[in-house]
A = this chain, B = another copy of it.
Amino acid sequence: MTELGNKTMRKDGRRRDQLRPIKVTRNFIKYAEGSVLMEMGDTKVICTASVEEKVPSFLKDKGQGWVTAEYAMLPRATHDRSPREAVKGKQGGRTLEIQRLVGRSLRAVLDMTQLGERTIWIDCDVIQADGGTRTASITGAFIALADACAVLKKKDLIKQRPMLDYLAAVSVGKIGGRAMVDLAYDEDSAAEVDLNLVMTGSGRFVEIQGTAERYPFDRKDLDEFMSLGWQAIEQLVNLQKNLIGKLD
């Protein structure tokens, strides 16, 4: 971002409120019930939804289902190669934090009773990372989940898709004193504030995670983040509506 004038203000020429180009490739992995290659600019995440016909032990015989998520990055998804977590022998704090966020977000818009006694495993594997991998994971995983539910419905295992609303996510940041959405990696590194929003199709909040990376922010900033965030999420939700249709 060389200057911060009104028009072309971002490195890649985007406006402050503009999402990067989005590409959704469904049925990307042939075995998974739902699978999406989610691309937001140079960020690329493979999101799969896998159905398992049992629930975790704490839900046994409760007449409801479960959704859980796992997240990972290929070692060379990033500018410098990062060590493989399977080699280190454990998932790092950032990984755990993200996959907990993804799972919690999806569960917030699902009617677990309608899902029945089964688990849907969401896997978000980042193959190329250019900022916003957790938000791309959520937006893409929702589509994969919808597709997996469509398969269940087709097989008469559920009566209708158990989604209560659409769900999408976007990052908002403040850089050089100006708020903007959908930060690429270079922008994210320079951000004074980094905030991730997960919202429903009807504009309600599921998750807000805001961090003052350098300078604490005030109420006015927060209001601006919310507005910018929602208009971006609205676009993502519209895309979801086009792809997966009306939630029945």
- Which residues does A use to contact B, with CB under 8 Å? 29-32, 35, 42, 46, 48, 50, 52, 70, 72, 74-81, 84-97, 99-100, 104, 108-109, 121, 123, 125, 127-128, 165, 195, 199-200, 202-219, 221-222, 226
Contact = CB atoms under 8 A, between A and B. Distances in A.
7 contacts: A31-B79, A90-B90, A92-B96, A93-B99, A206-B211, A219-B226, A222-B226
> How many copies of this chain?
6
Task: List the 7 closest pairs (A to B, CB-CB), nearest first.
Answer: A204-B216, A93-B96, A85-B86, A208-B210, A50-B81, A48-B76, A86-B86
Contact of A30 (B72, B99, B128): B128
Given A31-B77, A32-B76, A70-B84, 10 more contacts: A29-B77, A86-B90, A97-B97, A108-B213, A108-B216, A127-B127, A205-B210, A205-B222, A206-B211, A206-B212
A75 B212 contact: no
Contacts of A218: 203-205
A52 B125 CA distance: 24
Contacts of A216: 108-109, 165, 199-200, 202, 204-206
B207 A210 contact: yes
Contacts of A89: 89-90
A84 to B, nearest CB: 6
Contacts of A204: 212, 215-218
Contacts of A75: 48, 50, 70, 121, 123
A74 to B, nearest CB: 5
Contacts of A214: 108
Contacts of A210: 205, 207-209
A35 B76 contact: yes
Contact of A222 (B29, B99, B123, B208): B208
